[in-house]
Every structure is written in structure tokens, then in C-alpha cells.
Amino acid sequence: MAWRLKTIGSQLLAFCALLGLIAVADAQDIEPRAYSNAPIGVNFLVAGYAYTQGALSFDPALSLTDADLRTNNAVIGYARVLNLGGKSGIFDLTLPYTFLSGEAIYEGEPVERQVDGMSNPAFRLSWNFYGAPAMGLGEFRTWQQDLVIGASLRVSAPWSQYDSSRLVNIGTNRWSFKPELGISKTLGQWTVEGQLAATIYTENDDFFGGNTRKQDPIYSAQAHTIYGFKSGKWASFDLTWFGGGRTTFNGVDKQDLQQNWRLGATFAVPVNRKNSVKFYASSGVSDRTGNSYDLIGIVWQYRWGGGL
């Protein structure tokens, strides 16, 4: 039973992958096991830290070159497993805080920035509509995953630090909406997953001195190969692609179409009955617009409710 409880906890550790960067680069997320099943009524409290260095831009509409931006990101989050029409689902929210410093070139001119503040909070509802029935803890102990198909919608709100007189900000002064479709197939101790998504942005009508900036959707795809250990630990090799996002500045189209690839790895460790830790890292391996960066992070998770 103790082993099974650790396995339950490790499955829901997935929702907080890259929590520290949800508001930073939501189109570039690498998130294994986002559509795993879990017992109804379980709650999760999450605290995480992530460090990035490179050409990370909080607003993917910015065309920065020679960027060396460093961020330290702290985040707290909450999630709850739900019964949605007899199928399992998850509601989660995240509240990030970021310290940013660095330099870059924008349209031939050097820019520098050192600032801290709230990043965009994010809310998400996920629904496993095939292959993941809503179950209590007793039923879940004997359930074995086969094929799970799910969908989610993440909303990122512009309730964050933003100064329209500065080019580089932590906030983006616009909403974003990310619908996603995910599939997960278990083969013994291995699981293979894929996700397709589009991130849709509202316009920023106060960009750098009152200008209006619009951005086309950024489309993304993820693939994960996961190995689950009998102890409840699991490890994942991750790949993501994203492209699109051409911008319009005061009605004029910009030549800034994005097309990037990232590689990552994740390792999750159940500590005890109610606590888990996850380590993750990723790096850009190919980019069209110079917005590649390196990331390393850690997440602690506490769970309760649902009979645990």
C-alpha cells in the first residue's frame, strides 16, 4: 500500500512541470504526465524554483538579439483532482514571482534591465475524457492505465509587473489562452505521450510607449518517453517544438516568425506518503529567432485529501 501511495503522488507531480515559467514561456512548456489519472478529491500544494539563462523573453513578441537574460523564479501553486462527468480532471492555479536581470540588443540598440515582481498567474482545467474514469482511492489502487486522451485550457492573466516605458518586463500586459490535446499510452513500465496546443494572445495596446502590438498564435507539440520505477520514481526524456507567433506593430507586419526546438529531462521522487520532489532541466537546440535559453528547476509537492 505504501508503494501504491507513492505512485499516486508521483503521477500528479506532472501538473507542476515548469510552474516557475508558466507566465514566462507558456508556448515552450515541457510537461510530461500532464494527463495521468489520479484519485478524486486529492489536493496538491506546490512550491518551486527555476533558474534560466539565455535569450528568454517574457513576451514572445519581442525580437531581441544577443540576449543574456537571467531569471530566478519562485512559484506557489494549488491543484485538485475533480470528477467531470464520470471522467477525471484537474483544476490548478499558479502564482509566480520573478527576479530578472540582463542585457540584449533591440533593433540595433543595447537594452539593460534589472527588475522583480509578480509574473502572470495562470489557471488551468484539464479533462481526461477517454480512458481515465473518475475513481476514489480504493478503486484507483487496482486500476491500470492503458490509453488516456485528454484536453485542457490554460488561461494566463496580465496581473503582473509591467512598465510600458521599458522594453523588457516580467509581465506582458495581455491575456493568453492555451487549448491543448494530449494522449498517453502505457506499455508495461514505459509510457509514451504526445501533446498538441495553440497559445492565443490578446493585443498589447500599451507596448513600449503606447504602441499597439498583436501576435499570431504560437503552435506547439510535445513528445515524452517515460519510465516508471516500481518504487514510484519516474524519469522522462522530453522534446518540444513551437512555431508561429508572427507579430504586427501598429498595423505593420514584422518578419519574426518563430520556429524552435527544445530538449529536456525530468526526474520525480516520492519522498513519503504526502510529499514528492521533482527535478527538471531543458535547453534550446534549434531556434529561428534567437530566443533559446537554458532552464533548471526543482518542485516540492504536498498532497492531502481523497482518502490519502
Which residues, at least 6 apart from 248, have a Cβ–Cβ distance to it below 8 Å? 213, 214, 215, 254
Q: Express the helix, strand and coil content of the chain in percent, nearest 5 each.
A: 10, 60, 35
Summarize the confidence of residues 82-109 as an average pLDDT. Answer: 90
Residue 10 phi/psi, 5-degree rounding, is -65, -30
d(C-alpha 184, C-alpha 195), whole Å: 9
d(C-alpha 14, C-alpha 266), whole Å: 10
- What local confidence, expressed as pLDDT, does residue 257 receive? 84
Smallest CA-to-CA distance from 32 within 191, 143, 153 is with 191
End-to-end Cα separation, the chain, in angstroms: 11
Summarize the confidence of residues 273-285 as an average pLDDT. Answer: 90
In a 13 Å sphere around the CA of 298, the CA atoms on its Cβ side amount to: 4
Q: Which three cell numbers stand for residue 86?
A: 464520470
d(C-alpha 14, C-alpha 11), whole Å: 6
Which residues, at least 6 apart from 85, have a Cβ–Cβ distance to it below 8 Å? none
Q: Is 60 left (phi over 0), alpha (psi -120 to 50) or beta?
A: alpha
User: Measured over all CA atoms, what is the biggest interatomic distance in the chain, rounded to whole angstroms?
Assistant: 62
Residue 28 phi/psi, 5-degree rounding, is -105, 10
Confidence of residue 7 (pLDDT cuts 50, 70, 90): low
In the DSSP assignment, the letter for residue 121 is: P
Confidence of residue 192 (pLDDT cuts 50, 70, 90): very high
Confidence of residue 28 (pLDDT cuts 50, 70, 90): low
What amino acid is encoded at 168 in this protein? V
- What local confidence, expressed as pLDDT, does residue 263 receive? 93
- What local confidence, expressed as pLDDT, does residue 8 receive? 53
d(C-alpha 97, C-alpha 299), whole Å: 15
d(C-alpha 127, C-alpha 21), whole Å: 22
d(C-alpha 64, C-alpha 5), whole Å: 46
- What local confidence, expressed as pLDDT, does residue 60 receive? 64
**Residue 190 pLDDT > 60, yes or no?**
yes
**Residue 157 pLDDT > 50, yes or no?**
yes
Residue 140 phi/psi, 5-degree rounding, is -65, -30
Give the distance from CA 75 to its chain's centroid: 12
Q: What is the pLDDT of residues 110-155, one digit of tens each?
A: 888 899 999 999 999 999 999 999 999 889 988 999 999 999 999 9
- Strand 176-187 and strand 275-286: the pairing is unpaired
**Residue 47 pLDDT > 90, yes or no?**
yes
**Residue 18 pLDDT > 50, yes or no?**
no
Confidence of residue 20 (pLDDT cuts 50, 70, 90): very low
Confidence of residue 29 (pLDDT cuts 50, 70, 90): confident
Q: Which three cell numbers stand for residue 158?
A: 496580465
Q: In this structure, are residues 178 and 195 in contact, taking their beta carbons and an 8 Å threshold? A: no
Residue 70 phi/psi, 5-degree rounding, is -120, 135
Q: Which domains does the chain have, with CATH numbers?
A: 2-304 (2.40.128.130)
Q: What is the pLDDT of residues 288-306, one digit of tens each?
A: 666 678 999 999 999 999 8
pLDDT > 90: what percent of the chain?
61
